[in-house]
Amino acid sequence: MTAMQRLAGLGWNAAVPPNGFHNRRAAPEDPYNDNPLGLDTPVGEVEIETTPEHRNLVSGDPRCADWTRAYDDPGVVALRARMWERNGIPGLEVCDPDEVERAAVLFHRDGFVAVRDAVPADQLERLRHAAADVIEQLVAADPEGSVGGGAGGLPHRYSFGGTSGSRHLFGRPEWCELIDMPTTTPILTAIFGSPNYIVYGCGGDMAFPGAIEYQGLHSDNVWSELHDPVGGATMRDLPVPSVHINVPLVDLTPENGPIRQIPGTHRSRAPIPRLADEPEWMRFSTICPLPAGSAIIRDARCWHGGTPNLSREVRAMPNVEYFAPWFRSEALQRTMSYETWRTLTPHAQRIARYVVGLPGEPVVGDGFHHPRSAVREQRRADELAEMGESAAAEYLRRL
C-alpha cells in the first residue's frame, strides 16, 4: 500500500463547522493578524491550538462562515471553480536544481523560489510514509479533524512541528535526509553567501480535504523583534535571517491547498492585511502547479498562508528550517539525538551542531504527536519526571 493510499478517505467532516468550534475573534492587541513579536506573542483570551509564533491568528475566515464542510456545498463548489480559474502566480518561474545562481536571484527578489526535482523518487516515497505515520497519530487523537493546529489553529489543518512533543521531527530519518541534499545545499549556500548557516528545525504542515478556510497571511517570525528605541531598524531591514524549505508530497494543484506567497514582502514594513481585507489577487497568489518532490525555498519573513484544500487528497509539505550564519534565536534548541546526528552527512553534522544533544541523552517528546498542547505538555512532564529531578533540570538548562 502506498503512503497516499493509507490516507485515503480523510477529511470532509461536515460535523465540524467552518472555523471550528471556538468562538474566534481578532486579537485586540494586533488587528492586522501580523506577528511582530514572534515567539513572544501573548496567548490571548481565546484558546486556539496553534504554534506560539502564530497565537494571534485567531479570527478565522469570515467568507465561509455559513458554509457546510462538505465537498458539494454550494459555497465550496463555487470557490473550487474560482480556484481553478484564478489560482497560481502569473508567470511563476520554476528553477532546475543546477540553476543555483538564478534560484538565488529569484529568492532575493521575491522572498521565495520553487525548484523542481529536488527530492528523488525513492526518498520522496520514504518521506511520504513517514508523514503518513505522523498523520495517522493525529487522526487517532482527533478523528473529526476539529482541533487543528499550525498558524491559526484552523480545523482540518495541522503543523507537523507544532503537534510534535519536541516541536521538531529530527527523530525521523526521513526528515533528516532533507537537511543536506545535493539539489538544495548549493542554493542555500548561494542564498546565505556562505556554507556556515545552521539548521534549527524541521516540521512543515498539512491540509486535509475539507480545509475550507483560508489561513490569514503571516510571517514565520521565530524571533523577538529587534529592540531599537529610535525605530531605525527592524528584522525586515536585514539580510535574510531564516530560510525554510518545504517539500510537497503531492503535486500542488489549484484545488488541493497550494501555499500562497506574496512576492516581495520579505522586506516590507507594511502591516499585513487581515484576511477580510485582503485583495482577491493575494488569495490566489499561490505556488501551483508544482510537481511533488519540488523544493519551495522561502524567506521566513515573506507573507504567506495556507489555502483551502477542496480536493479529495491530503496535501502535506514537510520542511527543514535554517538560520543565517550570523543569526540565532530562542527557537534554537537541542532536539536532535546524538545517535541521529551520527548518521548525518559531514556537512549536515556541522550545521546541526547547535541542535544535537549529548551521547545517550533522550529527546523529551520525540516521536509523540498530538493536536492538543495540554496532552503534549503532560507527555513532556511525564518523561522529565522519569529522568529524575536532577537530570531533568540539567536537560532543561541545556535545551
pLDDT interval class at 371 (50, 70, 90): very high
**Cα 306 from Cα 320, distance rounded (Å):** 18
**Cα 275 from Cα 58, distance rounded (Å):** 11
* Residue of 317, 323, 273, 267 whose CA lies nearest to 293: 317
**Cα 173 from Cα 166, distance rounded (Å):** 15
Q: How far is CA 186 from CA 119, 193, 198, 204, 244, in A?
A: 14, 10, 14, 22, 15
Element (H, E) at 338: helix 338-341
Residue 266 and residue 107 in contact, taking contact as beta carbons nearer than 8 Å:
no
120: its cell numbers = 528523488
pLDDT in tens, 73-88: 999 999 999 999 999 9
Question: Looking at residues 159-173, what average pLDDT do you find?
Answer: 96
Residue 360 and residue 207 in contact, taking contact as beta carbons nearer than 8 Å:
no
Residue with cell 513579536: 37
Q: How far is CA 115 from CA 112, 122, 258, in A?
A: 10, 18, 15
pLDDT in tens, 145-160: 999 888 888 999 999 9
Among residues of the chain, what percentage have pLDDT more than 90? 78
Sign of CA dihedral 275, 278, 281, 286: negative
**Cα 232 from Cα 237, distance rounded (Å):** 9
**Cα 213 from Cα 46, distance rounded (Å):** 18
Domain-wise residue ranges, the chain: 3-331
Residue with cell 510514509: 129
* Residue of 215, 297, 195, 177 whose CA lies nearest to 20: 215
Question: Looking at residues 317-339, what average pLDDT do you find?
Answer: 96
Indicate the average pLDDT of the chain: 93
pLDDT interval class at 92 (50, 70, 90): very high
**Cα 64 from Cα 126, distance rounded (Å):** 36
Whole-number pLDDT of residue 327: 95
Question: Looking at residues 232-236, what average pLDDT do you find?
Answer: 88
Residue 69 and residue 210 in contact, taking contact as beta carbons nearer than 8 Å:
yes
pLDDT interval class at 274 (50, 70, 90): confident
- Flag whether pLDDT at 6 surpasses 90: no
Whole-number pLDDT of residue 32: 56
Question: Looking at residues 266-274, what average pLDDT do you find?
Answer: 91
pLDDT interval class at 219 (50, 70, 90): very high
Residue 51, Cβ neighbours under 10 Å: how many? 24
- Flag whether pLDDT at 44 surpasses 80: no
* Topology of the domain comprising 3-331: Jelly Rolls (2.60.120)
- Flag whether pLDDT at 379 surpasses 90: yes
pLDDT interval class at 296 (50, 70, 90): very high
Q: How far is CA 78 from CA 40, 75, 312, in A?
A: 39, 5, 16
- Flag whether pLDDT at 26 surpasses 70: no
pLDDT in tens, 111-137: 999 999 999 999 999 999 999 999 999
Residue 356 CB partners (closer than 8 Å, separation 6+) = 334, 336, 337, 338, 340, 341
Residue 229 CB partners (closer than 8 Å, separation 6+) = none
277: its cell numbers = 481585507
Among residues of the chain, what percentage have pLDDT more than 70? 96
